[in-house]
Amino acid sequence: MAEKRPERVAAARRLASRIRAEGPVTVADFMQEAVAGYYATQPPFGVAGDFTTAPEISQMFGEMTGAFLLDAWMRAGRPSPVSLIELGPGQGTLMADMLRVMRPYAAFCRAVSVHLVENSQRLRAAQRAKLAGVENVFWHDRLQDVPPGGFTLIVANEFFDALPVHQFVHGGQGTWRARRVGFDPAADKFFFDGERGDEKVFELSLATLSVMEEICRRLRSGTGGTALLVDYGYDVLAFGDTLQALSRHRFADALDNPGGQDLTAHVDFGLLAFEARRNGLRVQGPVGQGEFLLSLGIAQRAEMLAQHATPVQRQEIMTALRRLTAPSEMGTLFKALAVSGGFE
Ligand code: SAH
């Protein structure tokens, strides 16, 4: 199957020649190159892709997050203007579902401009198609490029898990060193440099910290705002290697096929919350995605949708509800963190 994806070799080739010239690269550099190559060239989502995200499972996910952000805007006293920012919007499904919930609120619609932070041209095209007809939509490579000011609403689903992590390994005698990836041309394989295979691993994503710093800066300025961050991750500092590759909905070797398969690391919610508190922002959560969605009324929403549905559709709605909320599915591994500034 993977052979049908010819572009996959581009990122791998770049990494291999870089390692040949400079020696082994950090895990963060490897991941950066692999992830950028992946989103630039692959169809990641859905049955034909490598993984399925919450907004692709059901419109109810976007409806709940849209209601959550709208509520924050109302509690802040309906300020104008509003920048509604999404980090890593994928196929644009989440934003489309959120905007549908927001549409009846005329004052909000008059105040809002939509900003999509996306560095894949391929996915930008998908987002443009999905949001055709929506006014005031702008694309940016980085959050720093979104014009500042006004009230800020930020949403990110499965964005931080795509950002590169540094890994450090315990090398014995109480010393730590950055973990590096080498390349063996004879075997045509990437490998972790100089390891016995039983080292303790510690992860830190400086890219995550940088984005969170920028989020906090925005929530502290203008008329404040709220950020809702949903991802696969942990909230207690821990040792462990969470680098994870998915190919066609199956786990794969993290160092295989860079750029040709999904590569993520678990998100450190403790770090996100720490940075928010350090900036004097109000932090809610993280709570499990299940708890978050159920508290917003997703079960009642499912019932409402099911009332007007055929028996087959009803089954699909209830299956989606379970996938999004059950502890054995996405309900507890995925977490939601809300950060606010400028209003109570
Ligand atoms: N939020 C979507 C997509 C998640 S996949 C969903 O839930 O379905 C990750 C998304 O982040 C993709 O759109 C990818 O292109 C984007 N992305 C990854 N790294 C990025 C970066 N450094 N800057 C901007 N966008 C990035």
- Residue 306 CA to ligand 1 centre (angstroms): 31
Would you say the CB of residue 119 lies under 6 angstroms from ligand 1?
Answer: yes
pLDDT exceeds cutoff 80 at 344: no
* 275 neighbors 212 (Cβ within 8 angstroms): yes
Lowest mean pLDDT among 83-92, 154-163, 189-198, 206-215: 189-198
pLDDT exceeds cutoff 80 at 341: yes
- Residue 92 CA to ligand 1 centre (angstroms): 10
- Residue 281 CA to ligand 1 centre (angstroms): 25
Residue nearest to atom 25 of ligand 1 (CA): 118
Closest of 339, 144, 140, 146 to residue 229, by C-alpha = 339
Closest of 226, 230, 227 to residue 324, by C-alpha = 230
Structure token digits, residue 21? 């010239």
Would you say the CB of residue 341 lies under 6 angstroms from ligand 1?
Answer: no
Q: Average the pLDDT over 167-190 and give the result.
A: 91
What does residue 94 show for φ and ψ, rounded to 5 degrees? -60, -45
For helices 27-41 and 206-220, angle between their N-to-C axes, nearest 10 degrees: 70
Sign of the dihedral defined by the CA atoms of residues 125, 129, 130, 134, in that order:
positive
The pLDDT, as a whole number, for residue 236 is: 87
From 51, 93, 98, 120, give the residue whose CB has the most ligand 1 atoms within 8 Å, as the site to mutate. 120
Residue nearest to atom 17 of ligand 1 (CA): 88
Number of H helices, E strands in the chain: 12, 17
Structure token digits, residue 24? 């082994």
Q: Which helix (H) or strand (E) holds 189?
A: strand 189-192
Residue nearest to atom 16 of ligand 1 (CA): 88
Cβ contacts of 311 within 8 Å, gap of 6 or more: none
Cα 325 from Cα 290, distance rounded (Å)? 4
Would you say the CB of residue 86 lies under 6 angstroms from ligand 1?
Answer: no
Cα 264 from Cα 313, distance rounded (Å)? 32
pTM given for the model? 0.95
Would you say the CB of residue 56 lies under 6 angstroms from ligand 1?
Answer: yes
Residue nearest to atom 21 of ligand 1 (CA): 119
Max Cα separation, the chain?
65
Would you say the CB of residue 205 lies under 6 angstroms from ligand 1?
Answer: no
Q: Average the pLDDT over 260-270 and give the result.
A: 95
- Residue 118 CA to ligand 1 centre (angstroms): 6
pLDDT in tens, 79-92: 999 999 999 999 99
